[in-house]
Amino acid sequence: MSGMEIERKFLVRGNDYKQQAYASDRIKQGYILSGHGRTVRVRVRGDRGYLTIKGPSQDGGMSRYEFEKEISLDEARHLFELCEPGVIDKTRFLVKSPDGQHVFEVDEFYGDNEGLVMAEVELQSPDEPFEKPSFIGREVTGDRRFYNGHLRKYPFSVWGSTLSE
């Protein structure tokens, strides 16, 4: 997959998303390179590996170029050896919007980011309307603190207590 990724991010209230999820996977990801808004990431999701390259954010953090290629699990494990310090560890739950038109990816983080639960929805255009599930809280699109690459360096456990809903 490659092209422009358009998504909005939200904090999640409660844990109703778990009962509404139709699928979930454990994800571990590391960053081979990160800086100046660009990342090269390796990810293991379930029993599959991926290499992803992302460009700098645009549209207030809503859009960015993304190239993703599935690689073998063995390749992904070897690439983790090249990663910068810090790993993102999370479970991703897939939840359909109330009208069934969109899928919300809800990430429950572990380790130094324990306590953080975020949802994102991918859109076809920045102004595309969508219906939010009841567990969707404050929008954090464009807030760099909530980018996975940032969470790896500056974990939620360090600054999360300063958040107010």
Active-site residue set: 31
Q: How far apart are CA 144 and CA 124, in angstroms?
A: 22
Helix (H) or strand (E) holding 150: helix 148-153
Q: How far apart are CA 90 and CA 148, in angstroms?
A: 10
C-beta neighbour count of 79 within 10 angstroms? 19
Helix residue spans in 24-138 (DSSP H)? 73-79
C-beta neighbour count of 112 within 10 angstroms? 18
Instruction: Confirm if 14 and 106 have CB atoms less than 8 A apart.
Output: no
Q: How far apart are CA 134 and CA 116, in angstroms?
A: 17
